[in-house]
């Protein structure tokens, strides 16, 4: 494949111990990139080149990894945007949200906006790349898939439905090379004044079951959930779409 593919990776955290590790979705982005480009895959990280957890990615069979050297608290967006703009990449794969640090999930959106590229959210598989476009599968709720055709170059966030990452081997992890690139360091002013706290899952709404018999209660408890209150917007104006989103946020109590 002549298409240049770059996978972006970050430092993850074990869900129980909190110890640094490879991020799960980023590892899936590397796995998908390896399946598409093989040894031609380029893996990129913005941060500390001395972080031991980076070698877990090298252990997946990579000979080298490029690191945009910058300290903690620096803004990775300008460095990544400048690098990708000059790298000639046509497909950039990344996780949807970092497991450490800010973890807002906004980086792929801001990066795609800065590059002027289309963004595919929830990528499950890349079926083919030809004639300046790619045919991809997007993961939807409840195991559904949607086939999309997107023009190159594009950026995609990898979903948990993507192929599971291969195990990291100790030997390749030790032999792999971390190439550090000097970049302009810009402080993340927003992060400097922000207060970080652990994310908590939102409570799920419980449906009140009004059934008289045990059979009816069992049927209601095991019935397949149906989204009946959803609304799919296609071919609407940006104004109409924004109004629909605002209405939903008000109904959910997010915006008052």
Q: How many domains does the chain have?
A: 2
Band (pLDDT 50/70/90 cuts) for residue 128 is very high
Q: Which domain holds residue 99?
A: 5-193
Task: Name the residue with higher pLDDT: 50 or 210.
Answer: 50
Q: Tell me the per-residue pLDDT of 184-236, one tens digit each, with 9 for 90 and over.
A: 888 777 776 777 777 677 777 766 666 677 777 777 666 655 555 667 788 88
Would the pTM count as exceeding 0.85?
Answer: no
Q: What is the pLDDT of residue 178?
A: 95
Residues 222, 173 share a domain: no
Q: Which percentage of the chain shows pLDDT scores above 70?
A: 91
- E strand intervals along 86-159: 91-95, 119-130, 133-139, 145-151, 154-158
What does pLDDT average to over the chain?
Answer: 88
Residue 65 counted as domain residue = yes
Residue 118 structure tokens: 């289309």
Residue 222 structure tokens: 């095991």
| Average pLDDT, integer, range 18-42 | 94
Q: 184: closest CA among 33, 74, 107, 52?
A: 74
- Alpha-carbon distances of 30 from 124, 233, 236, rounded to whole Å: 13, 33, 36
Q: What is the pLDDT of residue 214?
A: 76
Triad 81, 118, 39: Cα angle to 5°: 65
Q: Tell me the per-residue pLDDT of 166-177, one tens digit each, with 9 for 90 and over.
A: 999 999 999 999
CATH number at 41 reads: 3.40.50.620
- Alpha-carbon distances of 36 from 57, 92, 118, rounded to whole Å: 17, 12, 19
Residues 169, 71 share a domain: yes
Residues 233, 184 share a domain: no
């Amino acid at each position: 494949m002549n298409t240049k593919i770059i996978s972006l990776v970050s430092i993850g955290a074990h869900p129980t111990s909190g110890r640094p590790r490879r991020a799960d979705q980023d590892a899936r982005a590397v796995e998908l990139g390896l399946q598409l480009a093989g040894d031609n895959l380029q893996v990129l990280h913005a941060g500390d080149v001395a972080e031991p957890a980076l070698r877990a990615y090298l252990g997946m069979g990579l000979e080298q990894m490029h690191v945009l050297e910058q300290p903690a608290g620096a803004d990775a967006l300008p460095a990544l945007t400048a690098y990708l703009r000059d790298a000639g990449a046509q497909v950039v794969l990344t996780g949807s949200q970092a497991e450490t640090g800010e973890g807002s999930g906004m980086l792929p959106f801001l990066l795609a906006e800065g590059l002027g590229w289309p963004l595919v959210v929830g990528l499950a598989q890349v079926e083919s790349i030809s004639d300046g476009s790619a045919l991809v599968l997007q993961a939807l709720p409840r195991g559904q898939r949607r086939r999309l055709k997107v023009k190159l170059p594009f950026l995609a966030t990898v979903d948990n439905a993507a192929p599971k990452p291969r195990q990291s081997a100790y030997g390749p992890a030790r032999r792999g090379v971390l190439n550090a690139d000097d970049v302009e360091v810009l402080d993340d002013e927003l992060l400097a004044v922000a207060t970080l706290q652990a994310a908590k899952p939102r409570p799920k709404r419980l449906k009140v079951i009004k059934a008289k018999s045990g059979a009816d209660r069992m049927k209601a408890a095991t019935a397949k959930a149906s989204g009946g209150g959803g609304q799919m917007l296609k071919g609407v104006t940006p104004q109409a779409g924004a109004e629909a989103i605002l209405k939903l946020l008000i109904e959910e109590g997010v915006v008052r």
